[in-house]
Amino acid sequence: MPGFLSALLSALHDGRAPTSKRPRPAPPALAHPMDRMPSIVRLAVTGAIAVAVVAASPALGAMGAQGSPAGAKVAPQMNGHWVGTWVSMPQLTEPNNMPPAPFTQENLVLADSTLRQTVHISVGGRQTRLRFSNAFGGTALPITRVSVALPLGGQAGVSGIKAGTAQPVTFHGRSSVVIPVGAQMVSDPLNFTLAPRSNITVTTYLAEGQKSNAITSHPGSRTTSYLLAGDHAEAEDLPGATPVDHWYFLSGVEVWSKHTTAAAAVLGDSLTDGRGSTTNMNNRWPDQLLDRLQSHRGTADIAIVNQAAGGNRVLNDGLGPNALARLDRDVLAQSGVEWQIVFEGVNDIGTAAATEAAQTQVSADLIAAYDQIILRAHAQGIRVYGATLTPFGGNATYDDAGGYREAARQAVNQWIRTSRRFDGVIDFDLAARDPANPRQLLATLDVGDHLHLNPAGYKALADAVPAGLFERKPLPWGFGFE
């Protein structure tokens, strides 16, 4: 009977699903097929539909709990758009961040292996899709099966999933996908409800594995993932699995949301990636900013997408491509981005020579790079906010006796505050520095290395972001003409 109902509805609607809750009126010459039927035929058809719906109701109820049946085409549940709700910046995996043996062999990674990962989303939705990246893979990445589920207890970093929530993910209607070298793949949409600030479990099975020791990951996940031999894509738990605090291959989660929902992308380094935060607690400063925004109705539809990586730099490659090189991929090509926060540059200053000439040069180059980031984002209608660089006085690697690096930091911060090139300024320096010794972090916010912050320090940064920066308002006249 459900098959009959589907066929009948398909014939009546000419294969088209409605795109919003309010159906569009048909032009007079193209009236609905029911309107062209004799009344006795309409009565018979209506009765048949009613019978079919009643007969199919148990299946429809199950579909509401589990999502769409495998292979079914998913239609939008409202007139909206895709918005990134979670991201991780893809990187080439360093040797010490590769999956442990036996999951890494010579030129073969994760063969006949299940990878289970949890990620913390920002805004919620009833329909979602995933992004997988092979940006740095040495060979094509063959993914055999993927499933999504709600994690056990709703927690991050757990190996178990909530019973009855697992749902298969498809790519162009198929369960498997091969991602070419340097490419990404976006999954088909699926009906899967996610609450704001909740966690989602993504489980990936690779039958063949990736035939290279160059793979794509995000090492600084601050979240525990699990590896287990064999296919366990929809298993409720993974007993005996190997825990690793890294993400592999998964680079984004998107939700279909109303047009008033938008994302703010953060371009940053380890201070944004969360060095010094608590594993599986999601208390980086972007996470705590999200908590703040979600607590107010006027900003509850703002997603925060964290495109940061430890060791990253603006001008030159470090851990991952430099910010100028990755801007298009990590910000401009992301779904639903309307704002960008730039909080990066301390690694450029800290790795340049501690001489007056080198630091004068790097500060000038950083300022020019910020201007380029602004110019390119403005061309896409994205507002850009600049965050001042936080202190590193007393850090064993970056601080120098001559104070040349501190002078460069001050020069960069002065430009961020006064140039009026950014659409807004976030003064993280003011929020984190010691008032009695402004070239150092406040001791209560310092994780201990005089460069990175503890969770209280990251809360101080989150609290320093003016919520008014995310007001929805028209772009000013001439915006983007640089």
**Start-to-end Cα distance in the chain:** 62
How many degrees, rounded to 5, is the angle at CA 131 between CA 220 and CA 86?
55
- Averaged over 475-480, what is the pLDDT? 96
* pLDDT at 470 exceeding the cut of 50: yes
For domain 260-482, the CATH class is alpha beta
Give the residue-averaged pLDDT of 442-463. 98
pLDDT bracket for residue 34 (50, 70, 90)? very low
List C-alpha distances in Å: 332 to 37, 111, 317, 325: 51, 34, 19, 12
Query: For 185-329, where are the alpha helices, taking DSSP H only?
Result: 270-273, 285-294, 323-327
Query: In 3D, which of 347, 411, 344 has the Cα closest to residue 384?
Result: 344
**What is the pLDDT confidence band of residue 8, given thresholds at 50, 70 and 90?**
very low
Please determine, for residue 242, whether its predicted confidence score (pLDDT) is greater than 70: yes
Phi, psi dihedral angles at 251 (to 5 degrees): -125, -5
| Residue-wise pLDDT tens digits, 367-415 | 999 999 999 999 999 999 999 999 999 999 999 999 999 999 999 999 9
Cα 457 to Cα 447: distance, rounded to the nearest angstrom: 8
User: What is the model's pLDDT at position 67?
Assistant: 56
- Where are the CATH 2.60.120 domain residues in the chain? 80-257
Q: Which residue has the higher pLDDT, 39 or 59?
A: 39
What is the residue-averaged pLDDT of the chain?
89
The alpha carbon of residue 28 and the mean position of all alpha carbons in its chain are separated, in whole angstroms, by: 45
Show Cβ contacts of residue 373 under 8 Å, excluding neighbours closer than 6 positions.
267, 323, 324, 327, 340, 342, 384
**Average of pLDDT values for 290-300?**
96
What pLDDT score does 269 carry?
A: 98
CATH top-level class for 80-257? mainly beta
Q: What is the distance between the alpha carbons of residues 423 and 378, in angstroms, rounded to a whole number?
A: 10
Single out the residue of 79, 58, 75, 77 nearest to residue 5, CA to CA. 58
What's the whole-number mean pLDDT along residues 2-23?
A: 38
Q: Could you please report the per-residue DSSP string of 182-222?
A: T-EEEPPPEEEEE-TT-EEEEEEEESS-BSSS--EEES---
Residue 264 DSSP label: E
Is the confidence at residue 167, as pLDDT, over 50? yes
Higher pLDDT, 210 or 12: 210
Secondary structure class of 66 (helix, strand, coil): helix
369/353 Cα distance (integer angstroms)? 19
Q: Is the pLDDT of residue 441 over 60?
A: yes
Evaluate if residue 312 carries a pLDDT over 80.
Answer: yes
Q: What is the pLDDT of residues 139-165, one digit of tens each?
A: 999 999 999 999 999 999 999 999 999
Q: Which two tokens stand for residue 338?
A: 């309307």
Q: Of all residues in the chain, what percent carry a pLDDT higher than 70?
A: 85
Where do the CATH 3.40.50.1110 domains begin and end in the chain? 260-482
- Counting DSSP H helices and E strands in the chain, the numbers are 10, 25
Q: What is the pLDDT of residues 70-92, one digit of tens each?
A: 556 899 999 999 999 999 999 99
Q: Is the pLDDT of residue 168 over 80?
A: yes
Mean local confidence (pLDDT), 268-293: 98
Query: Which pLDDT does position 215 carry in this prediction?
Result: 98
- Whether residue 33 is preceded by a cis peptide bond, meaning omega within 30 degrees of 0, is no
Q: How many CB atoms lie within 10 A of CB 55?
A: 13
* DSSP sequence for 410-465: HHHHHHHHHS--SSEEE-HHHHHEETTEEEEE-GGGB-SSSSSB-HHHHHHHHHTS
Predicted confidence at residue 70, as pLDDT, reads 53
The whole-number pLDDT of residue 66 equals 44
Are the CB atoms for 251 and 90 separated by under 8 Å? yes
Q: What is the pLDDT of residue 71?
A: 55
Lowest mean pLDDT across 27-41, 241-255, 297-311, 445-459: 27-41
- Please list the alpha-helical segments (H only) found in 67-198: none
Query: Residue 26: is it exposed, middle or buried by C-beta count within 10 angstroms (0-12/13-18/19+)?
Result: exposed
Confidence of residue 111 (pLDDT cuts 50, 70, 90): very high
Which tens digits make up the pLDDT trace of 41-75?
A: 343 434 433 333 333 333 333 333 345 555 568 99
pLDDT at position 50, please? 37
What local confidence, expressed as pLDDT, does residue 261 receive? 98
pLDDT of residue 73: 82
